[in-house]
Structures are given as structure tokens and as C-alpha cells.
Amino acid sequence: MLRYLGARLGQALLILVGISMITFALIYLLPGDPVRQIAGRSATPETVESIRRQLGLDLPLWQQYLRYVGGLVQGDLGRSYQQKTEVATLIASRLPATLLLLAGAITVELLIGLSAGILAAARRGSALDRAVMVASFTAVSAPQFVVGILLLYVFAVQLGWFPIGGYGSFAHLVLPALTLGLLGGGWYARVTRSSMIDVLRQDYIVTARAKGAGRARVLLVHALRNAALPVIAMIGLDIGLFMSGAVVVESVFGWPGIGQLAWQAIQRIDTPIIVGVTLVAAVAIILGNLLADLVAPWVDPRIRLRR
């Protein structure tokens, strides 16, 4: 177990180095000059150059990178070009909203995806199964933007059940979490369905029924546990995905998460924020996968033996 964690940590470090390098290079290659953004259109060439020197942007790229990494190992993500605030502080201030939306979205995904997937698998080939397949296909291919606006219009504007946007209470969370959860739930439904169909064919399902277990018990106890691994892997992926911010949904609902922070930073070429958010996202993806890997053997004991 310790060796496994050690290996994963080494892997994670390599990935982080790689990602930070690539992000740095990409931003450098991007058209647009951050210094001009900061200085404004009317600034004289002298002002521009002095700001450039001040920020260290006159140095060659590799030196800029080394300086950044030097700060990073001391826990310093740098400061925003625009707001002069520490990037770490900016990200930390967005963390609660992001985590809340993440938890809400994954909860909705699981509720919808698991129940739809289990029912569809249990009644394979029925009208219900076909409905689930069509609905999940629609969900995974629907644009977040459209669904978000639609929910907002119906449930906030017309019915007035939820606030139109913003952050601060459970009511604020419902619509954005529902938007992400409905759409992501389509993937969960498909993965759950196919995994359950696979499991329901197995001999031990017949054994469970031959023991006198009822339908619900066979599905929820005997089959679900065996079908859970792909779903757990998906939760791991989702944690990483949502931690890098749900840009579209955050904009639609005015949700102050990491996605909005990143989006604004990209528009202003605020390099330290972009790299910082990218690194946080990378860490979250690694942690999400690690979490899934740690939970897996607990759900399926056969994995314990293999490791």
C-alpha cells in the first residue's frame, strides 16, 4: 500500500512538471501580450518596457519557468498581473463555491444515473430501457449553455422557485447542480446500465435468486456492488473535471467558482492565474483518480489480492 502510494506520488509529480511546462509554453505561443493588457492602450513604450522588466517577462522563457517553479516549491503561486493579489488567495476564495457545485453535481449525477441505469438494465429491451437510452443520449449531447438557460428561465424566471443566479444558499445551488447533474447523469446512466447488464448475466445472480432473494435485493445488493467499479472510476474523473471549473454553468448562473476565475484570466492573459488554476485542476484530477483507486478494492475485494 505504501509503495503504491509512493509510486502514485512520483507519477503525480512528473505529471505536474509536464503540465506546468506545457501551460507555460502555450501561453507564450498565444497571440496577445499580457503587458499591453496591464499597461493599457495609451501607455508609452517606456512604461510598457518597465512593467515587462518588473514582472520578469523580459527574461527568456526557460528562466521565467524556473523562477515560477522556484516560487512554487515554497508554496508561492505568484501574483495576479491585474489584481496584484496572490494567486493562491484568489483560488482559495473560489474553492468553497467550486467544491459545493462539485458535490451537488455529482450527487445529482449519481441519483439520476444510478437509478436510470439500474432500471434500464433490470428491464432490458423494454420501453423504459429505450427511453433511458434516448434520454441519456440527449443529455450527453445537449449543450450545458442551453439546458442551463432553459432551467433558469422555467424555474427561476417563470416559476420563481429558485434565485436567478448567485451564490450563498442551498436554493442557489439547485439549478446549477441540476444542469451539470442532468447532463453528466446521462454518462452515469449509460455506464451503470451496461455494467449492470454484464453483471446480471453472471451465475451468482442466479444463485442469489435461487436463495430466495427478491428482485430489489438482487439488483441493489448482489448486482450493484459488482457493477460499481466503472461508476467509481467516473466519479474520480468527475472530481478532476469539476475542480477545473464548470465555466459555462458558472457564467450562466453567476456562480463564483474557479471556472469564472480562469475564464477572466484567459481573457486578460493573466498568466499566473491561468497556470495556477491549471495546476490545481491537474492536482484535482490526480487526487480524483487516486481516490477512485483507493475506494475500488474496498468495493471489489478481488482487487486487493491483485495488488
Partner 1 sequence: MPLLEIDGLTLAFRGAEGELPVVEGLSLSLEAGQVLGLVGESGCGKSVTARSIMRLLDSPPAVYRDGAIRFEGRDLLRLDETAMRALRGGRIGMIFQEPMTSLNPTFTVGFQIDEALRLHTDLSRPARRARARELLARTGVGAPDRRLAQYPFELSGGLRQRVMIAMAIACDPRLLIADEPTTALDVTVQAQILELLLELRARTGMALLLITHDLGVVAETCDEVAVMYAGTIVEQAPAERLFAAPRHPYTAALLASIPQLRPGVRRLPSIPGTVPAPGLRPPGCAFVDRCTRRLERCTSDRPALRVEAEHGVACWNPVP
Q: Which residues of 67-82 are buried (b: 16+ CB within 10 A; e: fewer)?
A: ebeeebeeeebbbbbb
Residue number with CB closer to partner 1 (140 or 229): 229
Q: Is 222 in the site for partner 1 (CB under 8 A)?
A: yes
Q: Is 2 in the site for partner 1 (CB under 8 A)?
A: no
Give the total residue count for the chain. Answer: 307
Q: How far is the CB of 114 from partner 1 (least distance, A)?
A: 17
Distance CA 5, CA 290 (A): 9
Residue number with CB closer to partner 1 (28 or 204): 204
Q: Are 228 and 153 in contact (CB under 8 A)?
A: no
Q: Is 302 in the site for partner 1 (CB under 8 A)?
A: yes
Residue number with CB closer to partner 1 (223 or 239): 223
Q: Is 127 in the site for partner 1 (CB under 8 A)?
A: no
Task: Please list every residue from 192 through 211 that binds partner 1, using CB under 8 A.
Answer: 202-204, 206-211
Distance CA 59, CA 209 (A): 71
Q: Is 172 in the site for partner 1 (CB under 8 A)?
A: no
How many C-beta neighbours within 10 Å does residue 100 have? Answer: 18
DSSP 166-201: -SSSHHHHHHHHHHHHHHHHHHHHHHHHHHHHHHHT
Closest among 174, 51, 153, 166 to 101, alpha carbons compared: 174
Q: How far is the CB of 214 from partner 1 (least distance, A)?
A: 6
The stretch near partner 1 (CB under 8 A) out of 103-111, 162-170, 218-226, 280-288 is: 218-226
Distance CA 52, CA 94 (A): 28
The stretch near partner 1 (CB under 8 A) out of 51-59, 85-93, 147-155, 297-305 is: 297-305
Helix (H), strand (E) counts: the chain: 15, 0
Distance CA 53, CA 191 (A): 53
Q: How far is the CB of 100 from partner 1 (least distance, A)?
A: 32
Q: Is 123 in the site for partner 1 (CB under 8 A)?
A: no
Q: How far is the CB of 302 from partner 1 (least distance, A)?
A: 6
Residues of this chain that bind partner 1 (CB under 8 A): 202-204, 206-214, 222, 225-226, 299-302, 305
